[in-house]
Amino acid sequence: MSQEKTADMTHDSEQQSWFKQNYIALQTIWIKECTRFLRIWVQTLVPPAITMSLYFIIFGNLIGERIGPMDGVSYMEFIVPGLIMMSVITNAYSNVSSSFFSAKFQRNIEELLISPVPTSVIILGYVGGGVARSLIIGVLVTLVSMFFVDVNIQHPVVVIVTLILTATLFATAGLINAVFAKTFDDISVVPTFVLTPLTYLGGVFYSLKLLPDIWQVVSQANPVVYMVNGFRFGFLGKSDVGIDISMILLVAFNALMYGIAYYLLKTGKGIRS
């Protein structure tokens, strides 16, 4: 009996040591990623806030007054969730793609891959940094929007869950982009030719109900539509698509992107050459 207890204690001790080591590794990568964008906060945090302020002034105050109410609320209230989500998507993606590619370009990512740190910890560390930056920017944009409109959140839990899932999804997508990128120019290809069109056609500035029936159907193939509308439902209690569908798709896309990222890092595709 004493031998069994000793074996169990040894096993528990090894498990605790394993978890502790992985937690330290995760914390180290995450702190490094956060320190990276916080050190140059004038370049990483201030520009999105200024850009969104211009959107609020131009689209909200100037154009919005001529457009009138949208889906039962003022146009300014309508676009606030979409603009917050747009800034979150852009910054979550760009943060991880640029950071991971820099590590790959400088060849120090190889040291991390051959270390005993699990692949999942590496992914979570980099993605966590991108999520942290996007959440900070999301809060900043929300604060900026309060200067233009009264922000009332109908479903706080939906807002938080949608925000985190979306930030995680695009941070992971940014990592995948960085794995395949060969030059720094390759990092900007997806944001320019994929993310920007999907975001602007994702219902940020308009309700899908304004579109002809055929284009409403086509728009439903755009994944950003579900993220923007899920987030808008959290703010206004209104959505062009079902909130349950939005959540299911967000979870499914996150699982898919994580699986792809894990496979790429585990096999070293695009890195070990």
The percent of residues in the chain predicted with pLDDT above 70, rounded, is 92
Q: Greatest CA separation found in the chain?
A: 81
Q: Which domain holds residue 88?
A: 19-267
Q: Is the pLDDT of residue 128 over 70?
A: yes
**Domain annotation covers residue 4:** no
What one-character DSSP code corresponds to residue 116?
S
DSSP secondary structure letters along 134-168: HHHHHHHHHHHHTTTS----S-HHHHHHHHHHHHH
In the predicted model, what is the mean pLDDT of residues 42-51? 89
Single out the residue of 138, 46, 145, 136 nearest to residue 85, CA to CA.
138
pLDDT tens by residue, 161-214: 999 999 999 999 999 999 988 888 888 888 888 888 888 888 888 888 888 889
pLDDT, greater one: 8 or 117:
117
SS3 content of the chain, % helix, strand, coil (to 5): 80, 0, 20
**Domain annotation covers residue 8:** no
pLDDT, greater one: 33 or 14:
33
pLDDT tens by residue, 228-262: 999 999 999 888 888 999 999 999 999 999 999 99
SS3 call for 73: strand
**Domain annotation covers residue 69:** yes
pLDDT for position 258:
96
**Could you tell me the pLDDT band of residue 5, with boundaries at 50, 70 and 90?**
low
**Domain annotation covers residue 102:** yes
**Could you tell me the pLDDT band of residue 1, with boundaries at 50, 70 and 90?**
very low
**Domain annotation covers residue 47:** yes
Q: Which amino acid is at 205?
A: F
User: Helix crossing, 2-39 with 75-105: angle to 10°?
Assistant: 110
In the predicted model, what is the mean pLDDT of residues 32-55? 90
**Domain annotation covers residue 255:** yes
pLDDT, greater one: 113 or 84:
84
Burial of 244 (0-12, 13-18, 19+ CB in 10 A): exposed
Is 262:118 a contact under the CB 8 Å cutoff? no
Q: How many domains does the chain have?
A: 1
Task: Centre a 10 Å sphere on the Cβ of residue 91 and count the other Cβ atoms it contains.
Answer: 28
pLDDT, greater one: 265 or 71:
265
pLDDT, greater one: 151 or 159:
159
Task: Please list, in sequence order, all residues whose beta carbon lies within 8 angstroms of the beta carbon of residue 224, skipping any fewer than 6 positions away.
Answer: 89, 198, 199, 201, 202, 203
**Domain annotation covers residue 202:** yes
pLDDT tens by residue, 62-77: 777 777 778 788 888 8
Which residues of 49-189 form beta strands (DSSP E)?
none
**Domain annotation covers residue 107:** yes
Measure the CA–CA gap between 169 and 153, rounded to whole angstroms.
Answer: 23
